[in-house]
Amino acid sequence: MPAWAELLEKQPVAVRMLQNSIEKSRIAHAYLFHGPRGTGKREASLLFAMRYFCKEETESSEPCKNCSACKRIYSGNHPDVHFIQPDGQSIKKEQIEFLQKEFTYTGLESNQKVYIIEEADKMTGNASNRLLKFLEEPNQQTVAILLTENSSAMINTILSRCQRIQFHSLNEQEQYNRLLQEGIPDSTAHIFTALQLDLGQAMEWKDDPWFAEARKIVLQLVDKVLDSKEEGYLFLHQVWLRQFEGRDQIELGLELLLIWYKDIISYHLDRKDRVILIDQLDRLETYMYRLSIQEAKASIYEILQTKRRLASNVHNTLAMEHLVLQLQR
């Protein structure tokens, strides 16, 4: 389980602000945790909710982690703690309406309730307006925690009703060392650090067969698009799109693809110390002679453009088809 003491090392300002609000009983009705991915926002929201419901009476901000409330919140099974995540590409109005309906009922164990909205910047306009009404009439014992990597995409009226807690980018070397200490293999720790995964997600993915297969398929796509037979388009439909089905999965695939092309550039510049895919040095050396720095930069540009198209709700398949055709040039 996460602990404030561990998170304090990574996010001293954010953690002290949250600890003070708990210890002085000055809990706001709404918080916005904003900052890059993997900076501990979700860990902090869990710790906050666990302390809010913890059955151990103490003035400390640290939850006991042993009572039934702490254990159920950590496992996602507490009846009065609700998590909202994007349904497909966005958080929809119906999800916020369902949340409001749930909160009209008396709490199953107390009158306290917490709701945590992940990727809050992905709320539709209607969902944002519905949430705004919810925030304008807060229940005294209800706490909202909104998590986002992109607070600028949220409407100002919601931002103004939240206490904003900023989570800063982590020191990559410290994050990498921490992953190694948790038993994550060296090659995988490099990738997880580049992806800015928090420790919980890293531990979840380290033995995940889907992620292992995803890494392999990304490398296979590179082989196909750089093959003179131009088999990339066929591979996209037969393999890639079956592995990377949802928008989040496709974005992860694109992040892994970005890492590969950035590594090619590092190899060209004789900066092997910057290479992320350290278990692919032979492959990188082979392709260095087939792909120039200019071509690698052009490929990175196309991948970033594809990420923008996906964010603009271009259909997944169309966006990927266009990318593969550009990478094969």
- Measured between alpha carbons, how far is residue 164 from residues 4, 17, 65, 124 in Å? 18, 10, 26, 21
Looking at the fold, whether 158 and 218 belong to one and the same domain comes out as no
Q: Give the C-alpha separation, 156 to 162, whole Å.
A: 10
Give residue 99's domain range: 4-166
Say if 200 falls within a structural domain. no
Whether 201 is covered by a domain: the verdict is no
Residues 131 and 241 in one domain: no
Q: Nearest Cα to 181, choosing from 207, 202, 195? A: 202
- 81 and 151 together in one domain: yes
Q: How far apart are CA 309 and CA 315, in angstroms?
A: 8
Reference 152, options 196, 129, 120, 115; nearest CA is 120
Confidence of residue 103 (pLDDT cuts 50, 70, 90): confident
Count of domains in the chain?
A: 2
Give me the percent of the chain exceeding a pLDDT of 90. Answer: 63
Query: Model confidence at 104, in pLDDT bands (50, 70, 90)?
Result: confident
Sequence-ordered list of residues with C-beta below 8 angstroms from that of 25, at least 6 positions apart, any chain: none
- Pairing relationship of beta strands 163-166 and 142-148 according to DSSP bridges: unpaired
The length of the chain is 329
Residue at a domain's end among 166, 198, 228:
166
Report the pLDDT value the prediction gives residue 313, as an integer from 0 to 100.
80
Q: Are 246 and 161 members of one domain?
A: no
pLDDT score for 304:
95
Last residue of a domain, one of 166, 190, 219: 166
Q: Looking at the domain assignment, is residue 250 inside a domain?
A: yes
CA distance 88 to 82: 18
Tell me if 203 is assigned to some domain.
no
Q: Do 213 and 149 fall into the same domain? A: no
User: Do residue 35 and residue 126 come from a single domain?
Assistant: yes
**pLDDT over 70 at 106, yes or no:** no
Output the six-digit token pair for 38. Answer: 């993997």
Average pLDDT of the chain? 90
Domain CATH code at residue 11: 3.40.50.300
Name the more confident of 117 and 111. 117
CA–CA dist 250, 171 (Å, integer) = 27
Q: Are residues 120 and 23 in the same domain?
A: yes
Asked if 262 contacts 300 with a C-beta cutoff of 8 angstroms, the reply is: yes
Residues 124, 232: one domain?
no
> Alpha-carbon distance 247 to 313, whole Å?
10
The predicted-structure confidence for 197-214, as pLDDT tens digits, reads as follows 877 788 889 889 999 999
pLDDT per position as a tens digit, 124-146: 999 999 999 888 876 768 899 99
Please check the confidence at residue 234 and state whether its pLDDT lies above 70.
Answer: yes
For 143-175, how does the pLDDT look when each residue is reduced to its tens digit (9 = 90+)? 999 999 999 999 999 999 999 999 988 778 888
What tokens appear for 225 in the block?
A: 């698009």
109 pLDDT tier (thresholds 50, 70, 90): low
Residues 162 and 18 in one domain: yes
User: pLDDT digits over 298-319, tens only?
Assistant: 999 999 999 989 888 889 999 9
Whether residues 125 and 226 fall in one domain: no
Percentage of the chain modeled with pLDDT above 70: 98
CA gap 147, 119 in Å, rounded = 6
- Span 94-111, mean pLDDT? 79
For the segment 218-228, the average pLDDT, to the nearest whole number, is 89
d(CA 155, CA 122): 11
Q: What was the pLDDT predicted at 215?
A: 94
Q: How far apart are CA 276 and CA 273, in angstroms?
A: 8
Q: H-helix or E-strand containing 306?
A: helix 293-311
Min mean pLDDT across 29-38, 103-112, 246-255 is at 103-112
pLDDT of residue 101: 84
In a domain, 305, yes or no: yes
User: Does 29 have pLDDT greater than 70?
Assistant: yes
- Mean pLDDT in residue range 213-231: 89
pLDDT in tens, 242-283: 999 888 899 999 999 999 999 999 999 999 889 999 999 999
Are residues 13 and 162 both part of a single domain? yes
CATH code: domain of residue 284? 1.20.272
pTM assigned to the model: 0.69
- In this structure, is residue 239 part of a structural domain? yes
Looking at the structure, do residues 16 and 161 belong to the same domain, yes or no? yes
Q: Which of 140, 166, 192 is the last residue of a domain?
A: 166
Q: Tell me which residue of 259, 161, 202 sits closest to 40, measured CA to CA.
A: 202
- pLDDT at 107 (0 to 100): 60
Please indicate, yes or no, if residue 199 is contained in any of the structural domains. Answer: no
* 293 domain-assigned: yes
In 3D space, the residue among 276, 272, 278, 295 whose CA is nearest the CA of residue 225 turns out to be 295
